Structure 1
């Protein structure tokens, strides 16, 4: 069973981290400002690829920004590609 935790430092920099059995298998590196969440990088451990973990991280991040009325600046190539591919789904949170 996977668990995703938002872990931030005092400057609101950190990541959505994905754990399976207490082992970190994926991360989405972010920073948060009052009205903006910037995504810098998404990564999944090579031995955990192909299980949909990047998508789960994306879904968790989107739920968080919608719940907190934030916009997303997708500097991460994966997140930017998903926003372009599914622009209607993310148009309410995409800071272009």
Structure 2
């Protein structure tokens, strides 16, 4: 399953979708031009335990690194993952 990204200029999501059904998503909102707030992460029960949430966060981090954007993780899952993964923390605001 491929991770996709959509962004409308203010809100966005990294997600996995198949046959028009979203199986996983990490939703964010921009706070100005250089800050991104992770609001919510959800993974369908059929995919839980496969590290999908972490993969979504890794894609988001890769995106913000390229765009020089700082991250504020309000989502409990993202917050906990940043605490565990020192390799991702440099993007935190």
TM-score range, shorter chain: 0.7 to 0.9
Question: Residue in 2 aligned with 1:31?
Answer: 29
For these two proteins, the number of residue pairs brought into alignment is 92
TM, length-normalised to structure 1:
0.84
1:83 positional shift: 1.1
Question: What's the C-alpha RMSD, in Å, of the aligned pairs?
Answer: 1.6
TM, length-normalised to structure 2:
0.87
1:20 positional shift: 4.5
* 1:8 and 2:7 correspond: yes
Residue 35 of structure 1 contacts residue 69 of structure 1 at CA under 8 Å; is this kept in 2? yes
Flag the structure with higher helix content: 2
Question: Residue in 1 aligned with 2:92?
Answer: 94
Q: 1:1-96 maps to which residues of 2 (within 5 A)?
A: 2-10=1-9, 12-20=10-18, 23-32=21-30, 33-86=32-85, 88-95=86-93
